[in-house]
């Protein structure tokens, strides 16, 4: 049996349902955002952990030119190494029927007829290549799907200069390629890049690597120090063209997955905090109003013998009720959003099974945090109710005390009509509430700016990276560095307008204890297809005859500036070690480049003029002929097409960012609506009598709406610019939180983004104004004459 | 004498849930130019409903109300607003001043939307508050607040001044001061005035006293002589 005082809680909630719902929505938005991030995070974390474990994802990865199989035992003997898996790994071009552009395949060997010991395949259809089945391959599933390839189909590959028909015997996924990124790409492009697993013997034979390997993956003992192992692996592989081992956290696919999880974590902090703070203040506002209208009831309860604690509990239960309403909506919404969000991840991250099971703990965390915030926020109002002395409580409250504002007698004040004075005095009278209303609206605008600026930032990033920093149509990767003659050969291919050499060598860069395992990019003097481009200033820096030009992020990591020496340890060729001065700094959004003159690089390596990549400008009309030729060239190991990279970048961005923006905008609008609606509703409740009196005195509906909504409207309009500023700050914070070695998100906000954010926020508040206006139109004029506040 | 306002056969039925309340059952009323009437009656007799209808706050279920040559019965919401704005002054039991505006500003609130208003200071002078222009309601006594309300009602120079229990919330001394102000306005400005009260003593300051009972004006009593408010006591 429900106690009567609790029945009052339920009826009060029902009576205040509009406001309860409006606050509930803000709470719900916070809870939904929190559950969405937490549950997606859980899903990703659990899935990756289980996936990595089940399919034995390696701890250390290394690549060499060609190392003898005998080295395997020495690698296994390194203290801390548990398992070693050697293999052949090479890039080659694929020719897919009906697809004109060349497609790149990362060929990785697997033992015939059985799973490798590390980095096992999750077979999705068919089987592994069998012993003696020389041309059998397994494709990674997204690539096969993108081309509609099935078990039994064949694809053509140009392996080491030979065209080979490969028979697809299976499709699979691998923990190594959750995020399958082709060389030089920013986003996965399943049409143009695929993983091809082939029997080890067959692939080794094709690349003349019988009895040798070109890649090795290690599993470490629990507690082994990866850095120590890597040093020893590097030493062993040094002679065989090893280009520096990396640990799991730097493995490309895993890096992207972990980075995404980091971002989810920061999102789960920033967003819900904003919503819950606002919800707390709204709860306080509404409860405060309720306590003052129920003064006499509170007095009565106390007179009947209810204790202060019971009274406090009674009002606290109202807050709990509001949070419960929000929780239900938030949990349903958050679970839905989490499922959608997780689903979106499966577009780019491929797991054999991605289980989305929102845990009770995520929900419990979300609900308790909201409850805590709302109760904390409404402490003031609850305490006021509890400490009201009964005798005083039964008296009507003293009429509000107002003061003239400072400029009462000034020209400005004379210009104000009486209704406007009412607005100004009410704002000035409760500065805290006015400030909080503004803060709430500003937060809503800020969130909108934050959400929408992502589009600006990424569009800007894409513009800068793909259109201003690059002008080539294709970048061709060569299997081995080639002499300058190769440039002439490329120049003679059909449709080629310009050719530019580029060489990238792996290197450790260091300054004292600060080190970075990266690469040196060699460019020719006067390079213009892919110049040294400063993304921030939008200018090209000429390739200097000697010295290094570093990306600012790298320079910061190494703690070097212009004129400082950087210690270089090249990881290829003769592996020279030397110091080189920094002669230029450029700000780049992508990667941490170190540029060097290609001639200087070749001299440093003591090699004749050679190139490993060729940037090419193509006459679009002869594109098809060019592709056809490229597909047949034996030396080509990689083809990167700028247009394809642009398409996949913007394709992914448009799809994902728009979902993200829509979601945020809806949440932010709920926030703006909740704040504006509650402010106006409370004003209406406090001043309904005043407004009805004005109606009796002959004021029109529009005129009294002006007084009530004018106040809220004024606060909102003043809040808008603050919201824009706040949004800029928040965007900066987010951009900083998303800063990684692989990319930086520029802080760029288009004026139209501010405009749109303001329009959205205004629309949300306008809706709440219209609802309140509807109530204003139905004020009971007669009741106010007879009742006293 | 010409009638400023005539009401004929007014009925008013309120429906609250399943209960029908007959507040007026065919009430008739004339308000003549410049007179002061007092409507007396127990609570629930229908006097407030009658006042609300002739003041344009409410509409009758049937019957007619004419103000000069305007038919109020047929008026819509915005016409009623215009009627109240241009022709009627209200004084309420609980003053209903705007707490955020000073005495002068409360009056100015109405004069700003009126056609031929008095200056706010002048209206306050009439009710004897010429020196308290800058006080907020919270700084005024109940009687003073009610006099501000009267000043606010007359500042627009209305044809009709309607006062619903103007002394209901005041002690007798203060009430008399307020009645004096109403009396003075009626005499000096010639504003047709109707005062609702259940205090029979007040009836003696009127030209006519209307007794309202069971939803009709049961009887009309004409005073041969109006006593001034000063002479009243209760």
Q: How far apart are CA A375 and CA A214, in angstroms?
A: 62
Mean local confidence (pLDDT), B32-39: 95
Is residue A60 a contact partner of residue A251, using CB atoms and an 8 Å limit?
no
Residue of A nearest to B51 (CA): A782
A contacts of B164 (beta carbons < 8 Å)? 785
Is residue A140 a contact partner of residue A123, using CB atoms and an 8 Å limit?
no
- Which distant-in-sequence residues (6+ apart) come within 8 Å of A700 by Cβ? B78, B81, B85
Percent of chain A with pLDDT over 90: 45
- Lowest mean pLDDT of A315-324, A353-362, A527-536, B59-68, name the range: A353-362
Which residues on adjacent β-strands are paired with residue A477? Answer: A613, A638
Predicted confidence at residue A473, as pLDDT, reads 94
**Coil, strand or helix at A5:** helix
> Based on the number of CB atoms within 10 Å of its own CB, is B25 exposed (0-12), middle (13-18) or buried (19 or more)?
middle
Are B85 and A398 a contacting pair at CB < 8 A? no
**Coil, strand or helix at A121:** coil
Write out pLDDT tens, residues A34-93.
898 889 899 889 989 999 999 999 999 999 989 999 999 999 999 999 999 999 999 888
> Based on the number of CB atoms within 10 Å of its own CB, is A783 exposed (0-12), middle (13-18) or buried (19 or more)?
exposed
Q: How far apart are CA A548 and CA A158, in angstroms?
A: 36
B-facing residues of A in 418-447 (CB < 8 A) are 418-419, 421-422, 425-426, 429
The answer to whether residue A7 neighbours chain B at the CB level (below 8 Å) is: no
Which H or E run contains A65?
strand A60-68
> What backbone phi and psi angles, to 5 degrees, belong to B148?
-60, -40
Are B86 and A698 a contacting pair at CB < 8 A? yes
- Which distant-in-sequence residues (6+ apart) come within 8 Å of A527 by Cβ? A500, A502, A543
Task: Give exposure, A297-329, as e/b (b: 16+ Cβ within 10 Å).
Answer: bbbebbeeebebeebbbbbbbbbbbbbbbbbeb
Write out pLDDT tens, residues A271-314.
888 888 888 888 888 888 888 878 878 887 777 778 888 888 88
The answer to whether residue B57 neighbours chain A at the CB level (below 8 Å) is: yes
Residue of B nearest to A779 (CA): B57
Predicted confidence at residue A134, as pLDDT, reads 81
Decide which of A156 and A779 is more confident.
Answer: A156
- Which distant-in-sequence residues (6+ apart) come within 8 Å of A463 by Cβ? none
Tokens of A271: 């967003």
pLDDT at A132 over 90: no
For an interface test with B, the pick among A427, A696, A706, A781 (most B C-beta atoms closer than 10 Å) comes out as: A696
Which residues on adjacent β-strands are paired with residue A165? Answer: A156
Average pLDDT, chain A: 88
Decide which of A261 and A523 is more confident.
Answer: A523
A contacts of B92 (beta carbons < 8 Å)? 693, 696, 785
A contacts of B91 (beta carbons < 8 Å)? none
DSSP state of A743: B
> Based on the number of CB atoms within 10 Å of its own CB, is B15 exposed (0-12), middle (13-18) or buried (19 or more)?
exposed
B-facing residues of A in 693-722 (CB < 8 A) are 693-701, 703
CA torsion through residues A51, A54, A60, A61, sign: negative
Distance from CA of B85 to the nearest CA of A (A): 4
Crossing angle (nearest 10°) for helices A295-303 and A308-348: 130
Tokens of A19: 């406001």
Decide which of A408 and A160 is more confident.
Answer: A160
- Report angle CA A390, A394, A395 to the nearest 5 degrees: 125
Are B112 and A418 a contacting pair at CB < 8 A? yes
pLDDT bin (cut points 50, 70, 90) of residue A787 is low
Distance from CA of A17 to the nearest CA of B (A): 22
Mean local confidence (pLDDT), A574-602: 93
The answer to whether residue B48 neighbours chain A at the CB level (below 8 Å) is: yes
Tokens 């203290």 identify what position?
A79
CA torsion through residues A757, A758, A759, A762, sign: positive
B contacts of A689 (beta carbons < 8 Å)? 96
For an interface test with A, the pick among B59, B96, B168 (most A C-beta atoms closer than 10 Å) comes out as: B96
Other Cβ atoms closer than 10 A to A69: 13
Q: How far apart are CA A764 and CA A769, in angstroms?
A: 9
pLDDT bin (cut points 50, 70, 90) of residue A729 is very high
- Report angle CA A737, A742, A747 to the nearest 5 degrees: 45
Which H or E run contains A526?
none
Which residues on adjacent β-strands are paired with residue B6? Answer: B30, B66
Is residue A217 a contact partner of residue A130, using CB atoms and an 8 Å limit?
no
CA dist A224 to A86, A254, A255, A516, B177, Å?
20, 19, 20, 22, 97
Mean local confidence (pLDDT), A545-565: 95
pLDDT at A542 over 80: yes
Q: How far apart are CA A76 and CA A32, in angstroms?
A: 49
Distance from CA of B224 to the nearest CA of A (A): 32
Q: How far apart are CA A268 and CA A37, in angstroms?
A: 5
**Coil, strand or helix at A258:** helix
Sheet with B70-71: list strands edge to edge: B19-32, B3-16, B62-67, B70-71
pLDDT at A656 over 80: no
The answer to whether residue A786 neighbours chain B at the CB level (below 8 Å) is: yes
Predicted confidence at residue A416, as pLDDT, reads 81
Residue of B nearest to A788 (CA): B94
Q: What is the DSSP string of A177-223?
A: GSS---TT-SS--TTTEEEEEEEHHHHHHHTT-TTEEEEEEEEEPTT
Predicted confidence at residue A410, as pLDDT, reads 55
Chains A, B: CB pairs < 8 Å? 95
Q: How far apart are CA A205 and CA A209, in angstroms?
A: 6
Predicted confidence at residue B83, as pLDDT, reads 92
Is residue A102 a contact partner of residue A93, using CB atoms and an 8 Å limit?
yes
- Which distant-in-sequence residues (6+ apart) come within 8 Å of A50 by Cβ? none
B-facing residues of A in 383-412 (CB < 8 A) are 398-404
Which H or E run contains A641?
strand A636-641
Are A788 and B169 a contacting pair at CB < 8 A? yes
Write out pLDDT tens, residues B105-154.
999 988 888 888 999 999 999 888 989 999 999 899 988 999 999 999 99
B-facing residues of A in 666-695 (CB < 8 A) are 689-690, 693-695
Are A698 and B100 a contacting pair at CB < 8 A? no
Distance from CA of A293 to the nearest CA of B (A): 17
A contacts of B100 (beta carbons < 8 Å)? 400, 402, 421-422, 425-426, 429
Write out pLDDT tens, residues B173-213.
889 988 998 998 899 889 999 999 989 999 999 999 999 99
Decide which of A653 and A64 is more confident.
Answer: A64
- What is the complex's ipTM, to 2 decimals? 0.84
Residue of A nearest to B106 (CA): A418
A-facing residues of B in 92-131 (CB < 8 A) are 92-94, 96, 98-102, 105-106, 108-110, 112-113
Which H or E run contains A240?
none
Mean local confidence (pLDDT), A160-170: 90
Task: Give exposure, A762-777, as e/b (b: 16+ Cβ within 10 Å).
Answer: bebbbebbebbbeebe
Across the interface, which of B57, B102, B137 has its CB nearest the CB of A696?
A: B57
Picking from B177, B171, B91, B100, the residue whose alpha carbon sits closest to that of residue B138 is B100
Predicted confidence at residue A786, as pLDDT, reads 66
pLDDT bin (cut points 50, 70, 90) of residue A398 is low
Write out pLDDT tens, residues B92-111.
888 888 888 899 999 998 88
pLDDT at A407 over 60: no
Picking from A677, A671, A672, A668, the residue whose alpha carbon sits closest to that of residue A17 is A677
B contacts of A694 (beta carbons < 8 Å)? 98, 109
B contacts of A420 (beta carbons < 8 Å)? none
Alpha carbon A164 to its chain centroid, in Å, reads 41
Tokens of A222: 């629990």
Predicted confidence at residue B15, as pLDDT, reads 84
pLDDT bin (cut points 50, 70, 90) of residue A270 is confident
The answer to whether residue B78 neighbours chain A at the CB level (below 8 Å) is: yes
B-facing residues of A in 725-784 (CB < 8 A) are 781-782, 784
pLDDT bin (cut points 50, 70, 90) of residue B5 is very high
Other Cβ atoms closer than 10 A to A202: 22
- Report angle CA A477, A479, A483 to the nearest 5 degrees: 85
- Which distant-in-sequence residues (6+ apart) come within 8 Å of A774 by Cβ? none
Residue of A nearest to B113 (CA): A699
How many CA atoms, within 13 angstroms, populate the side-chain half-sphere of residue A92? 27
Write out pLDDT tens, residues A421-461.
888 888 888 888 888 889 889 999 999 999 899 889 888 88
Q: How far apart are CA A99 and CA A627, in angstroms?
A: 10
Distance from CA of A444 to the nearest CA of B (A): 30
Residue of A nearest to B89 (CA): A697
B contacts of A786 (beta carbons < 8 Å)? 48, 93
Across the interface, which of A400, A418, A694 has its CB nearest the CB of B105?
A: A418
Predicted confidence at residue A532, as pLDDT, reads 96
Distance from CA of B99 to the nearest CA of A (A): 6
Distance from CA of B120 to the nearest CA of A (A): 12
Which H or E run contains A91?
strand A89-95
Picking from A563, A559, A560, A557, the residue whose alpha carbon sits closest to that of residue A544 is A563
Predicted confidence at residue B18, as pLDDT, reads 81
CA dist A218 to A247, A455, B51, Å?
9, 40, 95
Are A698 and B85 a contacting pair at CB < 8 A? yes
Across the interface, which of A403, A418, A693 has its CB nearest the CB of B96?
A: A693
Crossing angle (nearest 10°) for helices A308-348 and A4-15: 50
The answer to whether residue B216 neighbours chain A at the CB level (below 8 Å) is: no
Are B100 and A696 a contacting pair at CB < 8 A? no
pLDDT bin (cut points 50, 70, 90) of residue A229 is very high
Write out pLDDT tens, residues A633-646.
888 888 889 998 89
pLDDT bin (cut points 50, 70, 90) of residue A329 is very high
Picking from A343, A117, A133, the residue whose alpha carbon sits closest to that of residue A216 is A117
Picking from A550, A549, A552, A554, the residue whose alpha carbon sits closest to that of residue A514 is A554
> Based on the number of CB atoms within 10 Å of its own CB, is A652 exposed (0-12), middle (13-18) or buried (19 or more)?
middle
Predicted confidence at residue A448, as pLDDT, reads 92
């Amino acid at each position: 049996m429900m106690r009567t005082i609790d029945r009052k809680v339920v009826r009060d909630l029902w009576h205040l349902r509009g406001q309860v719902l409006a606050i509930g929505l803000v709470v719900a938005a916070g809870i939904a955002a929190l559950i969405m991030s937490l549950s997606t995070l859980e899903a990703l974390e659990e899935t990756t952990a289980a996936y990595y474990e089940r399919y034995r994802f390696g701890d250390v990865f290394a690549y060499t030119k060609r190392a003898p199989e005998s080295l395997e035992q020495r690698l296994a003997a390194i203290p801390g190494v548990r398992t070693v898996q050697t293999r052949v790994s090479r890039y080659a071009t694929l020719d897919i029927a009906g697809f004109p552009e060349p497609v790149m395949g990362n060929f990785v060997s697997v033992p015939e007829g059985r799973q490798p010991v590390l980095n096992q395949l999750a077979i999705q259809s068919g089987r592994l290549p069998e012993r003696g089945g020389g041309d059998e391959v397994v494709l990674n599933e997204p690539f096969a799907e993108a081309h509609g390839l099935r078990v039994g189909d064949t694809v053509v590959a140009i392996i080491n200069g030979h065209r080979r028909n490969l028979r697809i015997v299976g499709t699979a996924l691998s923990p190594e390629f959750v995020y399958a990124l082709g060389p030089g790409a920013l986003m996965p492009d399943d049409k143009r890049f695929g993983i091809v697993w082939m029997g080890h013997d067959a692939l080794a034979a094709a690349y003349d690597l019988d009895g040798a390997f070109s890649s090795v993956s290690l599993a470490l003992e629990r507690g082994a120090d990866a850095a120590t192992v890597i040093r020893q692996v590097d030493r062993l592989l040094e002679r065989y063209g090893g280009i520096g081992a990396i640990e799991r956290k730097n493995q490309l696919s895993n890096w992207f997955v972990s980075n995404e999880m980091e971002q989810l974590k920061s999102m789960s902090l920033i967003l819900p905090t904003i919503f819950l703070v606002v919800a707390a203040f709204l709860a306080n506002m509404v409860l405060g109003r309720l306590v003052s209208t129920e003064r006499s009831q509170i007095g009565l309860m106390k007179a009947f013998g209810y204790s202060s604690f019971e009274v406090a509990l009674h009002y606290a239960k109202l807050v709990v009720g509001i949070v419960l309403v929000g929780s239900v909506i938030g949990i349903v919404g958050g679970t839905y959003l989490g499922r959608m969000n997780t689903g979106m991840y499966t577009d780019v991250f491929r797991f054999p099974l991605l289980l989305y099971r929102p845990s009770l703990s995520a929900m419990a965390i979300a609900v308790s945090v909201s409850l805590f915030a709302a109760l904390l926020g409404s402490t003031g109002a609850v305490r006021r109710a509890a400490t009201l002395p009964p005798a005083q409580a039964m008296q009507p409250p003293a009429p509000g005390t107002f003061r003239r504002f400072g400029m009462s007698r000034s020209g400005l004040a004379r210009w104000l009509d009486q209704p406007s004075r009412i607005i100004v005095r009410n704002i000035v009278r409760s500065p805290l509430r006015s400030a909080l209303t503004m803060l709430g609206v500003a937060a809503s605008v800020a969130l909108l700016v934050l959400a929408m600026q992502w589009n600006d930032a990424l569009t800007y990033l894409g513009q800068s990276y793909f259109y201003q920093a690059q002008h080539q149509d294709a970048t061709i990767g060569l299997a081995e560095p080639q002499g300058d003659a190769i440039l002439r050969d490329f120049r003679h291919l059909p449709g080629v307008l310009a050719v530019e050499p580029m060489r990238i060598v792996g290197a450790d860069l260091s300054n004292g204890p600060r080190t970075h395992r990266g690469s040196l990019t060699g460019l020719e003097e006067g390079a213009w297809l892919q110049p040294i481009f400063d993304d921030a200033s939008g200018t090209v820096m000429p390739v200097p005859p000697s010295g290094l030009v570093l990306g600012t992020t790298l320079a910061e990591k190494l703690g070097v500036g212009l004129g400082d020496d950087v210690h270089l340890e090249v990881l290829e060729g003769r592996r020279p070690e030397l110091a080189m001065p920094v002669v230029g700094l450029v700000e780049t959004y992508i990667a941490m480049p170190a540029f060097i003159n290609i001639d200087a690089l070749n001299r440093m390596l003591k090699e004749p003029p050679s190139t490993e990549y060729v940037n090419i400008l193509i006459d679009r009309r002869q594109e098809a002929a060019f592709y056809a030729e490229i597909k047949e060239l034996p030396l080509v190991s990689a083809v990167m097409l700028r247009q394809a990279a642009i398409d996949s970048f913007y394709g992914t961005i448009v799809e994902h960012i728009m979902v993200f923006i829509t979601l945020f905008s809806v949440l932010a609008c709920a926030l703006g609506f909740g704040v504006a609606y509650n402010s106006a509703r409370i004003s209406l409740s406090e001043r309904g009598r005043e407004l009805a009196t004005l109606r009796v005195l002959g004021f029109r509906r529009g005129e009294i709406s002006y007084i009530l909504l004018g106040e809220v409207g004024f606060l909102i309009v003043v809040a808008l610019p603050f919201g824009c500023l706040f949004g800029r700050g928040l965007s900066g914070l987010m951009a900083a939180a998303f800063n990684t070695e692989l990319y930086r998100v520029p802080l760029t906000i288009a004026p139209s983004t501010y405009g749109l954010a303001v329009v959205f926020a205004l629309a949300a508040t306008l809706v709440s104004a219209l609802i309140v206006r509807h109530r204003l139109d139905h004020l009971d004029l007669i009741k106010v004459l007879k009742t006293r506040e | 004498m010409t009638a400023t306002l005539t009401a004929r056969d007014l009925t008013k039925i309120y429906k609250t849930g399943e209960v029908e309340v007959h507040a007026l059952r065919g009430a008739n009323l004339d308000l003549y130019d410049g007179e002061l009437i007092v409507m007396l009656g127990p609570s629930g007799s229908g006097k407030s409903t009658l006042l609300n209808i002739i003041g344009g706050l409410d509409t009758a279920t049937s019957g007619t109300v004419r103000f000069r040559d305007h038919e109020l019965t047929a008026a819509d919401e915005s016409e009623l607003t215009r009627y109240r704005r241009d022709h009627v002054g209200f004084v309420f039991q609980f003053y209903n001043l705007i707490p955020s505006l000073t005495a002068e500003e409360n009056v100015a609130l109405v004069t700003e939307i009126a056609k031929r208003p008095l200056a706010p200071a002048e209206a306050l002078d009439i009710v004897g508050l010429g020196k308290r222009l800058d006080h907020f309601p919270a700084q005024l006594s109940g009687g003073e607040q009610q006099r501000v309300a009267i000043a606010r009602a007359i500042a627009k120079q209305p044809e009709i001044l309607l006062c619903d229990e103007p002394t209901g919330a005041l002690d007798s001394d203060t009430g008399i001061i307020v009645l004096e102000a109403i009396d003075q306005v009626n005499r000096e400005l010639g504003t047709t005035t109707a005062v609702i009260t259940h205090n029979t003593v007040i009836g003696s300051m009127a030209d006519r006293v209307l007794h309202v009972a069971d939803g009709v004006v049961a009887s009309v009593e004409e005073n041969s002589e109006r006593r001034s408010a000063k002479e009243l006591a209760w």
